[in-house]
Chain A
Amino acid sequence: MRHATEILDSKKHQHLHIINNRWSDACYQADNVNVVMSELQNLVHDYPIFIAKNPNTGQFQLRALLGLKGGVNLYVKDGQWRAHCFPLDILSRPFRLFMPESDNMETGAIAIDPGSALISENEGEPLFQADGSASARLQRINQIFSALVNGQQQSAEFLQRLHQLGLIEPVSINLTLKNLPNAAIDGLYGINEDKLSALPSEALIECHKNGDLYAVHLMLSSSVHIEKLARWYEEQESDL
């Protein structure tokens, strides 16, 4: 269980500051994060992108793998983040979106865990300006959440189209690494390339026109990063 969260309030939290780039914080310890379609173009340069099911709804979602083992983020090493671009999900932390009606994005409010080590009264960037309006930092957070929320729907529809074309299949990543429990990379889905190349031309043209094909190719290209994760994983194991 995580700590209780509080909805962000310009009065109550007027003096809160947020500490940036402290990647060793617990909130960044995740072996995967949700991503949305609009991020693909950037993220595929650094992260392997797969499909997984939302544990609450069973619907397909895009995921970036950050590690190979429960809760371990291989992108964080010695307090540094080993990539140029960041998933929005990571940038949104330690904030969270509180949605009282799970299907109504309009009701969403930004929430914070008051116990987070990334909030402070004096260190870091302030969240509110003296007049109570949102600081530049908070405005960025707002933008990130709205990109995530809007992207979620678009991504779900994209994946549903791929599924209807039979392009999604369960994948097993076979790596022979010492001490790697296979369970960590269970439950992932990827693109079936045979089915993709066998798509009837009409479907292919449609996929090309609506941009799905481009996104699919981005995802396929991202699988090279698995090798990198494997290497990092082994380095980390031998450091221990």
Chain B
Amino acid sequence: MKAYYTYFKLKFITGLQYRSAAWAGISTQFFFGFVYIMVYIAFYESGGKNIPMTLSETITYLWLNQALLALVNQFTRDEELFKMVREGTISYELARPKNLYFMWFFKVLGQKLAAVTLRFFPLIIVTSLLPEPYGLGLPVSFIGFIVFLLSLTIGSLLVTALTVLYPIVTLATMSEKGIVNLMITIADILSGIVVPIPFFPLFLQKISSVLPFQYISDLPFRIYVGNIQINSCILPIIIQFIWLILLIVIGNLLMKKNLKRVVVQGG
């Protein structure tokens, strides 16, 4: 266990060194946050019917989304793992007496947490100081906040389990371009980081409800804003947890299968 923790720690510490990338990310996220908010405000003012979330719920959701984007998205990939597969430094990882899946899992987790640590505070502080209705609102209740934290924790592990799948698939395809990038794009859209799930057309909501992606961030964010009631969030959190276990199992199996026929590059 200690080895995995050390992997996580090193990746986290080295991740904290990328400050300038983080500042660039922060400004992009402010920009996108404002653009999204303008669009939604216009949408609400045009008086659409059956809008699934209130404006303040939506805006808080959007800011949470921007503040935690580095954690909950799948497209900012850990370049190191793909490079490892492409260039064959995976040789060294394979020569270690540890489970490669979990080595990668904790690397991805460390990288994600470092990235979000650098970006999270400026965004949260600034957006919570913004005037109504533009700012980040408070959680629906204290209990709601606790449940949000629990669900976000499971969500972080879930997105890690998904993110680590892509380099594992790349072991077979040898290039992350094409199919893998397509998978990542679809996964990101279905997780609600572009448009919150409640705004999806009904058929797409049905599709995404049987997939793991909406349990990454959509569920915790909606718990935070109170769009999902505390007493009806037990089942979704259980499903979230089941997906996490399932994806870890799938990742391990896929890793095993792909390692059997992996072609280690270079030498």
The answer to whether A and B belong to the same complex is: no
Using a CB–CB cutoff of 8 Å, the interface residues on chain A facing chain B are none
